[in-house]
Amino acid sequence: MAYYSVLAVTPSSEDWIPDYLPTANKLVAKHGGRYLARTASHEQVEGSDQAAALRIILEWPTRDAAMNFMNDPDYKPHLDARTAGSESYHFVIEGKDDLA
């Protein structure tokens, strides 16, 4: 079953971004993920303000793939840099409809 990572990221510094992107791209692919959206073009249409500079959506083949990416030792320094240089929220969502 597919899983999705949904992130809201607002950089407080852009120093981490040039090193982060090539490594994250490589490791996402290594773990079977693919980016569905990485954009600053988004609009909130409901609820209280949840501002974020970037919205990112990734698709994973399994939950394990998503967690293996997050726990990959090659990703750790880049994750640390991203979390230190941004306000980030990351949700891993199972691709199913519990309300069907």
How far from the centroid of its chain's Cα atoms is residue 35's Cα? 9
Dihedral over alpha carbons 5, 27, 86, 19 (to 10 degrees): -160
Residue 52 CB-density burial (10 A; 0-12 exposed, 13-18 middle, 19+ buried)? middle
Give me the pLDDT at residue 78, please. 97
Distance in Å from the first CA to the final CA of the chain: 16
Residue 59 near residue 4, CB atoms below 8 Å: yes
- For residue range 2-21, what is the model confidence (pLDDT) as tens digits? 999 999 999 999 999 999 99
pLDDT of residue 71: 98
**This prediction's pTM:** 0.92
> Which phi and psi (to 5°) does residue 14 adopt?
-105, 5
Q: Which CATH architecture has domain 3-42+52-94?
A: 2-Layer Sandwich (3.30)
Q: What tokens does 98 get?
A: 């519990």
* pLDDT computed for residue 93 by the predictor: 98
Q: Which sequence spans correspond to the domains of the chain?
A: 3-42+52-94
Tally the residues of the chain. 100
Tens of pLDDT, residue by residue over 77-87, are 999 999 999 99
